[in-house]
Every structure is written in C-alpha cells, then in structure tokens.
C-alpha cells in the first residue's frame, strides 16, 4: 500500500479508491463503463502551480499559461481553465471553435501546427488570435497573402526547430532537425528578415516546443539558450521580439518515474531567462499533459479472465479506441482495482475487445480481481478522450467531472445510432 501511486485529487480509504469525496466504484455502478472521470481539484491545483511561478512577489506577471488543448479538449475543462485565466495553444480551426464555445477568448490563443489551411488561417485572422506560430516559409507567405486580402495584419511568431534532443519517445519528440516541426535553426534569422519585409505580417514573438513527456529540465534550458541567442541577433537587426513562447512538454509520473515539480520547473526556466538578461520578454508556457494527465482516470469493467498456457488475459470493456497511448506509444498506465480485495495475485495482460492484437492497456500486471470487478486506468486525463475513436463501431465513453461531492456529466455517452448520423445509403437504382 505504501508504494501505491495515488495522483492528486484521489485517495484510498477502507480499501476503496475515491476521487475527491466519491468512490470510483459508486461512479462505475451509477454511470457505467468505460467512463473517464476527472477531478476539478486536481485540474485547478495543477494550474495554480504554474501560476505561482508566473507571478512575482509584488503581483506583477512574468509569464502566462496557454493550455495545449490537444491533450484534452472537453468544453468543461476548457471553460474551467479559461475561468482560471488560461490562454490556449491551438493546432486546428476546430480547436479554435471549441475555445470560443467554451467561453475562451480568441485573443488569448496562439495557433500552432505545420499544416494550417487557407480556411483555418482566415478563420483565425477574423477571430483575432494572439499570434500564428509559423512553421515554414510557404505558410508565412500564405498568411501574408490572406491577411492582405482581408485588409488585416497578422501577428506572427516563428516556431524554431532548435535540434535539441528531448530524450522522450520518438513519436512525441518535435525539436530535432529531422522532425517535421518548426523552421530549421540555421534558417530562422533569414526567415525573420523575410517576414519583416511583409506588409501584412507583424513579428511579435518566437516559439519553440521540443517534445512531450520530458522528465528532465536540462533539454528545456538548452533549447531556451539557443532561442535567446537568436533573439539577441534579431535585436541587432532591429527586429524586436515581444514574447518568448517556450512551449510545453513537461512530463508527469505514470506511477513508475519521477517528474519535476511544476512550480520548481517553471521557476527554474523563468529565473534562467531573467538571469540571461531577457526578463523584459513576456514568456508563454504551453502545458498540456502536466495540467490534465493525472487529473483523470478511465474506469473499465472486467468482462472475462482468460487463462492460457502462455499467459493470462484480463479482458475489459475499454479498449485502444478509448485509450490509444499504450498501443501507439507502448505507454505505461498504472492499473488498479477500484475495490481492493483479499484475493490471490495473478499476472495479467489487460486487453480490450477490439479486433487487434495491439489492443492492450497494460501488460504483465499483478492484480487481485474477479470477473465484473472495475479497474481504474490512472493518468488518463491527457490524450485519452481527445485521441479516442469509433474503431469497431464503438461509441465514445461518457466523461464526468467531480467537484467535491458533486458529479457533472461533461460528455454524454455516445450511442451506436449517433455514429450513423452523417452516413447515407446509396440510392436504389430503378430496374
């Protein structure tokens, strides 16, 4: 019990897992499974940890938090962060629409992404986003042309690829020179000079994001130093920079690794920027996983326990379409029974019903369980619901927000018929 990984907002009392004041077993019984459950306390506390570093002792602000909403784009979660004072990091026109629907301010949004369409650029210009994080010269040209056609000036920031190893999974490493993201470091100065000559673009910042689930501070310091050197060169060329967007990527503990304290992490980076003589810049953080990852769990019920000569399988009603990370990244999530029982320990592969060998949620997990027991897959608040699909015609899961003793449905469970809504049969041909 002493080694049990228990995220903030959760607790274990009398052999029952609780989220704030409610037992996970009671939630599973009332709302069914699979089901995502989030803690408002944990979401708020994570945001406040960033905020404590962003504010100086005199109350003045030295940095702002823009939630990287691809981690979890549920409207209720966006609304909560907007009320707490967050801006947003977007990577699609759809995400911009979600921010507006959730009560967020488009002026507090930065628009990232390598493949912005003409439609999305137009949409963002008309909405008045804070800036575009530009990732290529062709994109810069397109933004300038569209802004000209609309009679607007587009605020832009170049996303720099600093060729820094984030020491994370290759699929979520974004700052190496062979990644698709950003403008090559050696081409940044000339690209800024090109942008400086464009009549419908205004340079406001510089941006860098080197990856996700990073557990060391050193790669962030290395990338920041490379960006600060560029800012110094730009100043010499009379191209001033107003804000420094240092991206996100701070990792969390999934139960078997240590992660940096959020406030210590943010303070370390901000203090370093100030010590290098760049304290006048507005700094932007773009956290995603570190805000929402450990604030949510995925509840799932055991359908069958299947022993075989090779291994034992614990077959549950959640699957890779509900939580893609294990299948896509070989990712680890702690898995616990929501009610702790005095049973023999058995090693299981926890798998779902999807017709793929890759449909697994955890391998070689020692569990004390029976059929129909409910499991909690921890740390599912990030890249769970936002990456979910309807593969095998499986409806997306219900989502709940817990606030003390109150439960709010923040996404209804889909029905199979919901999945047919936009599909059409071919017309019957006349004989």
Each residue of 185-210: pLDDT tens digit? Answer: 899 999 999 999 999 999 999 999 88
On the question of pLDDT at 175 being above 50, the answer is no
Of the chain, the percentage scoring pLDDT greater than 90 comes to: 88
Per domain, the residue ranges of the chain are 10-39+293-420, 112-287
Beta bridge partners of 157: 133, 205
Determine the Cα–Cα distance for residues 358 and 256; give it in Å rounded to an integer. 22
What predicted TM-score, i.e. pTM, was given to this entire model?
0.94
Determine the Cα–Cα distance for residues 421 and 169; give it in Å rounded to an integer. 37
On the question of pLDDT at 63 being above 70, the answer is yes
Peptide bond just before 34 cis, omega within 30 deg: yes
**Fold (topology level) of 112-287:** TIM Barrel (3.20.20)
Residues forming the active site:
355
Give the ranges where 55-187 is alpha helix by DSSP (H). Answer: 75-84, 93-101, 118-127, 137-150
Confidence bin at 120 (pLDDT 50/70/90): very high
Cβ count near 298 (within 10 Å): 28
Residue found by looking up tokens 């990244």 in the block: 329
Cβ count near 360 (within 10 Å): 18
User: Residues of 61-72 as b/e, b for ≥16 C-beta within 10 angstroms?
Assistant: ebbbbbbbbbbb
Confidence bin at 166 (pLDDT 50/70/90): low
Higher pLDDT, 319 or 166: 319
**Fold (topology level) of 10-39+293-420:** Lyase, Ornithine Decarboxylase; Chain A, domain 1 (2.40.37)
pLDDT value for 162? 82
Determine the Cα–Cα distance for residues 142 and 121; give it in Å rounded to an integer. 9
Determine the Cα–Cα distance for residues 220 and 216; give it in Å rounded to an integer. 8
């Amino acid at each position: 019990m002493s080694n049990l990984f228990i995220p903030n907002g959760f607790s274990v009392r009398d052999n029952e897992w609780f989220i704030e004041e409610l037992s996970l077993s009671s939630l599973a019984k009332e709302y069914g499974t699979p089901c995502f459950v989030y803690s408002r306390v944990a979401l708020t506390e994570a945001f406040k940890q960033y905020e404590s570093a962003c504010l100086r002792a005199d109350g003045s602000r030295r940095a702002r938090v823009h939630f990287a909403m691809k981690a979890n784009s549920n409207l209720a979660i966006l609304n909560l962060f907007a009320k707490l004072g967050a801006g947003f990091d977007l990577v699609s026109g759809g995400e911009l629409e979600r921010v507006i629907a959730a009560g967020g301010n488009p002026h507090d949004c930065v628009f990232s992404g390598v493949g912005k369409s003409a439609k999305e650029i137009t949409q963002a210009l008309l909405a008045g986003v804070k800036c575009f994080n530009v990732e290529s010269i062709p994109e810069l040209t397109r933004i300038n042309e569209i802004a000209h056609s609309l009679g607007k000036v587009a605020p832009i920031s170049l996303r720099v690829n600093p060729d820094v190893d984030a020491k994370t999974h290759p699929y979520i490493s974004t700052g190496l020179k062979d990644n698709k993201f950003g403008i090559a470091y050696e081409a940044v100065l000339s690209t800024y000079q090109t942008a400086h000559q464009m009549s419908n673009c205004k340079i406001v910042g510089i941006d860098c994001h080197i990856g996700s689930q990073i557990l060391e501070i050193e790669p962030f310091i290395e990338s920041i130093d490379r960006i600060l050197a560029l800012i110094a060169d730009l100043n010499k060329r009379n191209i001033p920079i107003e804000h420094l967007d240092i991206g996100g990527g701070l990792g969390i503990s999934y139960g078997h690794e240590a992660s940096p304290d959020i406030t210590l992490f943010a303070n370390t980076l901000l203090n370093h920027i100030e010590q290098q003589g760049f304290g006048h810049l507005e700094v932007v953080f773009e956290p995603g996983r570190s805000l929402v990852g450990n604030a949510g769990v995925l509840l799932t019920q055991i359908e069958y326990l299947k022993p075989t000569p090779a291994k034992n399988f614990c077959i549950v009603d959640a699957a890779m379409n509900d939580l893609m990370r294990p299948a896509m990244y070989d990712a680890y999530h702690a898995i616990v029974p929501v009610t702790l029982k005095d049973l023999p320990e058995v090693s299981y592969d926890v798998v779902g019903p999807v017709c793929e060998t890759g449909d697994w949620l955890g391998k070689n997990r020692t569990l004390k369980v029976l059929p129909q027991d409910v499991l909690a897959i921890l740390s599912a608040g990030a890249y769970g619901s936002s990456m979910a699909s309807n593969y095998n015609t499986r409806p997306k899961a219900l989502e709940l927000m817990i606030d003390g003793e109150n439960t709010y449905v923040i996404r209804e469970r889909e029905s199979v018929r919901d999945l047919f809504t936009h599909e059409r049969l071919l017309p019957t041909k006349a004989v």
